[in-house]
């Protein structure tokens, strides 16, 4: 692990640099798949499913009998765990509902803001050996609370043409309206253009490999919105001697096992904890099934010592971590003053994996420093706010002249006319 003591402020941006990926070489592939799906619809989908997933499907849509079968295959223990998570996620996201905002800005001028659901959303859930059913909880639950009419889920089939039972069980539990056996670039293309069997959607959510990431970026060129730009997962822990080094190490490792490009950083005002955490990491690493991946990520990790809390906070805000764990005596200082972070985990008994699964917060968070300007997924991600205004005769008399003057100063005479006509009609009232 790389240990850095009192880094100079001018070196911070170099020190905090994230690994950059070049995606240009896969952009051409993504564009080709998009073109073909747009042109040929289901025919292209079927061809790419054969090529990439090595299976020929008779039917893209998951049937209700497949869902019933899946329910029998998921253990009751796991079902109960999923229900615990669902209940917490539901509570926290339901609490995010906002009322209509309504005011009369001046007498006779009523303005209000209301949020209305995005009618059609698409969720992408990767397949493979690790079925990310937790991402379904994080996306389908708020989609349903928001009132989205159509919630389409795409996930790649395995070689037997099936989707993992835990994915089907969770999707059904959370009110997904359509589940499609399609993965990768072709799934994103299908939800962008729509095919004979797969509906077009207005916004696409969910994780994926670099092909899916580039495909989501491309989708935005065709008028579809996406949840947020994606990058490798990351965790920053701020700790002092009040932190449990074993717990801190376990959190760093839980991030490191995501991928070799995962980012793991410890910031501390205690030199002692650096050594202890390093030892614990080495120890715990030995038993991990995904040891090879975690080891690579840990090699690039950084343990940074700084003199005081102010310095620590500044460096953290400069980095803008996706996940931010605070295990330090002066925790209030960090919680109050952090401005750039996706989600914050406070105290020794709040592991990052709690937020990944079951505390109630959303695990779809801004990576790559995007916490500086993007929110993590929340209830509002599935809605858009619209404004309304209704002006009475009295109201237009009151603000009409200001509009006329401003429109004229901006050289927009027809804008002025629209008010002048109305004011003239009210001259004698």
| Binding piece for its own copies, criterion CB under 8 A, among 31-39, 173-181, 190-198, 340-348 | 340-348
b/e per residue 340-367 (b: at least 16 CB within 10 A)? bbbbbbeeeebbbbebbbbbbbbbbbbb
Which of the residues 66, 234, 295, 322 is marked catalytic?
Answer: 322
Among 16, 60, 224, 277, binds its own copies (CB under 8 A): 224
Question: Is 363 annotated as ligand-binding?
Answer: no
Closest contact distance (angstroms) between CB of 113 and its own copies is 6
C-beta separation of 81 from 169 below 8 A: no
| Binding piece for its own copies, criterion CB under 8 A, among 58-66, 190-198, 264-272, 367-375 | 367-375
The per-residue DSSP string of 266-305 comes to EEES-HHHHHHHHHHHHHHHTT-TTHHHHHHHHHT-EEEE
Interface with its own copies, residue 388, by CB under 8 A: yes
Q: Could you give the string, one character per residue 93-122, with x where binding to its own copies holds by CB under 8 A and - elsewhere? A: --xx-x--xxx-xx--x-x-x--xxxx---
Interface with its own copies, residue 380, by CB under 8 A: yes
- 77 is annotated as an active-site residue: no
| Binding piece for its own copies, criterion CB under 8 A, among 171-179, 205-213, 263-271, 362-370 | 362-370
- 150 is annotated as an active-site residue: no
| Binding piece for its own copies, criterion CB under 8 A, among 45-53, 65-73, 184-192, 256-264 | 256-264
Q: Which is nearer to its own copies, 60 or 132 (CB)?
A: 132
Closest contact distance (angstroms) between CB of 218 and its own copies is 12
Among 136, 215, 294, 316, binds its own copies (CB under 8 A): 294
Q: Which tokens belong to 292?
A: 């090879």
C-beta separation of 301 from 252 below 8 A: yes
Interface with its own copies, residue 315, by CB under 8 A: no
413: exposed, middle or buried (Cβ count in 10 Å: 0-12, 13-18, 19+):
exposed
d(CA 250, CA 31): 41
Report the candidate in 306, 378, 376 with the shortest Cα–Cα distance to residue 340.
376
Among 70, 82, 153, 236, binds its own copies (CB under 8 A): 82
Question: Is 209 annotated as ligand-binding?
Answer: yes
Closest contact distance (angstroms) between CB of 284 and its own copies is 7
Q: If DSSP states are collapsed to H, E and C, what string results for 194-231?
A: CCCCCCCCCEEECCCCHHHHHHHHHHHHHCCEECCCCC
Question: Is 53 annotated as ligand-binding?
Answer: no
Closest contact distance (angstroms) between CB of 306 and its own copies is 20
Question: Is 169 annotated as ligand-binding?
Answer: no
Interface with its own copies, residue 279, by CB under 8 A: no
Backbone φ and ψ of 107, nearest 5°: -55, 120
Calculate Rg over the CA atoms of the chain. Answer: 26
Q: Which tokens belong to 402?
A: 């200001």
Question: Is 87 annotated as ligand-binding?
Answer: no
How far the first Cα of the chain sits from its last, in Å, is 79
Q: Which of residues 164-183 bind its own copies (CB under 8 A)?
A: 166
Active site residues: 322-323
Residues annotated within a binding site:
124, 186, 209, 233, 255, 258, 323, 356, 410, 415
Residues annotated within a binding site for Zn(2+):
255, 258, 356, 415
């Amino acid at each position: 692990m790389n240990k850095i003591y009192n880094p100079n402020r001018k070196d911070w941006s170099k020190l905090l640099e994230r690994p950059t990926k070049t995606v240009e070489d896969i952009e051409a592939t993504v564009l080709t798949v998009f073109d073909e799906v747009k042109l040929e619809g289901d025919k292209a989908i079927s061809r790419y499913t054969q090529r990439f997933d090595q299976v020929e499907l008779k039917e893209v849509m998951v049937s209700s009998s497949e869902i019933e079968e899946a329910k029998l295959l998921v253990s009751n223990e796991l079902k109960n765990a999923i229900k615990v998570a669902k209940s917490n996620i539901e509570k926290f996201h339901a609490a995010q509902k906002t009322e209509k905002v309504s005011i009369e800005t001046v007498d006779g001028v009523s303005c209000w803001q209301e949020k209305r659901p995005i009618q059609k959303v698409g969720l992408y859930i990767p397949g493979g050996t690790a079925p990310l059913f937790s991402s379904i909880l994080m996306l389908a639950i708020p989609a349903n609370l928001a009132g989205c009419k159509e919630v389409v889920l795409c996930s790649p089939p395995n070689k037997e043409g099936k989707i993992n039972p835990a994915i089907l069980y969770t999707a059904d539990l959370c009110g997904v309206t359509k589940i499609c056996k399609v993965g990768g670039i072709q799934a994103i293309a299908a939800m962008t253009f729509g095919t004979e069997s797969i509906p077009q959607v207005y916004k696409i959510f969910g994780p994926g490999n670099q092909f899916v990431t580039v495909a989501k970026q491309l989708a935005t060129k065709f008028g579809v919105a996406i949840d947020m730009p994606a990058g490798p997962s990351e965790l920053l822990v701020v700790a002092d001697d009040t932190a449990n080094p074993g717990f801190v190490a376990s959190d760093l490792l839980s991030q490191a096992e995501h991928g070799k490009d995962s980012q793991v950083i410890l910031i501390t005002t205690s030199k002692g904890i650096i050594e202890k955490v390093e030892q614990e990491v080495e120890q715990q690493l030995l038993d991990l099934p995904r040891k090879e991946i975690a080891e690579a990520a840990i090699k690039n990790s950084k343990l940074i010592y700084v003199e005081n809390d102010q310095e620590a906070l500044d460096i953290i805000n400069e980095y803008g971590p996706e996940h931010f764990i605070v295990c330090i005596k002066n925790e209030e200082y960090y919680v109050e003053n952090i401005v750039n972070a996706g989600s914050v985990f406070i105290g020794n008994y709040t592991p990052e994996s709690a937020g990944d699964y079951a505390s109630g917060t959303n695990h779809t968070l801004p990576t790559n420093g995007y916490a500086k300007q993007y929110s993590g997924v929340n209830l509002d991600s599935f809605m858009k706010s619209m404004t309304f205004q209704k002006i009475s005769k009295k109201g237009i008399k009151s603000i009409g002249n200001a509009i006329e003057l401003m429109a004229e100063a901006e050289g927009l005479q027809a804008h002025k006319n629209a008010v002048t006509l109305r004011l003239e009609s009210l001259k004698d009232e």
